[in-house]
A and B are shown apart, each in its own frame.
Chain A
Amino acid sequence: MKFKGRDVVSIKDFSKQEIQSIFSYAKKMIPYAKGEKTTSILKGTILASLFFEPSTRTRLSFESAMHRLGGKLIGFAEPSSTSLKKGESLADTIRMADAYSDLIVLRHHQEGAARLAAEFADAPVLNGGDGAGQHPTQCLLDLFTIITEKKSIKNKHIALLGDLKYGRTVHSLAYALSLFGADLTFVSPDNLKMPKEVINECKELHVEPKSTTSLERVIKEVDVLYVTRIQRERFPDAEEYNKVVGTYKIDTELLQKAKEDMIIMHPLPRVTEIDPEVDRTPHALYFKQAFNGVPVRMALLSLIAGRKIA
């Protein structure tokens, strides 16, 4: 298994065995991610952190991961301070970042941006989310969280809830969960259903996902409830958004029907879909999930830089 120098554009760039190998290394990273142990394994390595779109968790956890590994960062958190304002292409911006750094993490509003960046950069490119496209490191940390909490994914009943049409994380997650043999249910309003391409990919991996509009119908059975925000910015028009916003709300009343050890995950940010009261219940796992972004991204950065903690 060779990770050094590889681009991470899509979760499909990794085999199941490679994903498992990343996770066993990420587990090792947890005490470093918490600051209980220190390392300078990436001393002398520079990560270019190029965020063309707003981000809290992805950007901060990549930056935290790089600092925890002893590396340095350059970059920007929004493009208004760069030559993109002057009309510079993404390709040219990537060429510059390539000249100034050893690794590049990119978030961009256009789908396929990371694939394009990987073409123009010699340095490995890590996709931090491209529009409504791929977000492989989010997918990895989601899988890592489920495996850590539930010991395995195989035959676990996992419901993906909310905006399954435009939601960037759920497409790659549905594929990856199928790769690990999960039992899937897609819960969404009719106009935000999982695209057929994604359902076909699950079927190719011998998983037959069920679809429903009713959360009530499945809440009793699920082991993992993965909630997503209905994202205003992904909708082509406001009318379509207004029709579906607030369709699902997870609150303590609903959770009375759930299994005792059911966990709730969310890629965050949340708006109204999870009541803050839920945060105090043992079901709420989303903050731990967000933390897991650090050890998982530490593992990836270390593996791709080709410098591993013994």
Chain B
Amino acid sequence: MKELRIQPIKSGTVIDHITAGHALKVLRILHIPETTSSTVSVAMNVMGKQGKKDIVKIEKRELDPHEVDKIALVAPKATINIIREYEVAEKHRVELADEIIGIVKCSNPTCVSNANEPVKSRFLVTSKDPPQIKCYYCEREPDDISERII
């Protein structure tokens, strides 16, 4: 049996099956480390059954599934495992909502959502895997979503 490079955690959240190379983008979406003071482990390019993947483990913090679903923008195949006493207590696959509000900044500098107006950025999801989104206001489709995450 192969030994894991990162040890199991007692409690917290494990985000598995992140698209290889995208772990840091996932952390950016979750505003980590700003929003957590506990230990966060990141493993990149781990060989899994379906090829290389990234893994993120956040100790002593259970992420809200809705919050975590946002990471489907950069890692559509990711799974969320909530760990309690070294056991997987809950598991689910991330799923993008039909609309993304306040997470991605529109790439169009003259879009009204980038002006000083009382609205949050809003995108319609046109494809879930691979993730593709379209600005609700100006209809522009950003080429690199992860670069536009607020």
B-binding residues in A (CB < 8 A): 10, 89-91, 108-113, 115-116, 119, 130-134, 197
A-binding residues in B (CB < 8 A): 108, 110-113, 115-119, 135-141
B112 to chain A, nearest CB (A): 4
A111 to B134, CA, bound (A): 13
Q: Does A133 lie within 8 Å of B138, measured CB to CB?
A: yes
Q: Does A112 lie within 8 Å of B116, measured CB to CB?
A: no
Q: Does B141 lie within 8 Å of A197, measured CB to CB?
A: yes
Q: Does A90 lie within 8 Å of B110, measured CB to CB?
A: no
Shortest 8 CB-CB distances between A and B: which pairs?
A: A112-B137, A111-B138, A112-B138, A112-B112, A110-B112, A113-B112, A116-B112, A115-B137
**Main SS at interface, chain B:** loop
Set B111, B140, B141: member contacting A110, Cβ < 8 A: B111
A19 to chain B, nearest CB (A): 19
Chain A residues positioned under 8 Å from B139 (CB to CB): 10, 111-112, 133-134
Chain A residues positioned under 8 Å from B115 (CB to CB): 90, 110
B75 to chain A, nearest CB (A): 25
Chain A residues positioned under 8 Å from B118 (CB to CB): 89, 91
Q: Does A116 lie within 8 Å of B119, measured CB to CB?
A: yes
Q: Does A90 lie within 8 Å of B117, measured CB to CB?
A: yes
A115 to B136, CA, bound (A): 8
A91-B110 contact in complex given A112-B137, A115-B136, A197-B141, C-beta closer than 8 Å:
no
A107 to B115, CA, bound (A): 16
Pick the most buried of A90, A91, A109, A110: most chain B CB atoms within 10 A of its CB. A110
Chain B residues positioned under 8 Å from A112 (CB to CB): 111-113, 135-139
A213 to chain B, nearest CB (A): 25
A91-B111 contact in complex given A111-B137, A115-B136, A116-B137, C-beta closer than 8 Å:
no
A250 to chain B, nearest CB (A): 30
Apart from A89-B117, A132-B110, A133-B138, 5 more pairs, CB < 8 Å: A91-B119, A108-B112, A110-B112, A112-B113, A115-B112
Pick the most buried of A113, A115, A197: most chain B CB atoms within 10 A of its CB. A115
Set A110, A134, A197: member contacting B110, Cβ < 8 A: A110
A111 to B111, CA, bound (A): 5
B144 to chain A, nearest CB (A): 15
Chain A residues positioned under 8 Å from B137 (CB to CB): 111-113, 115-116
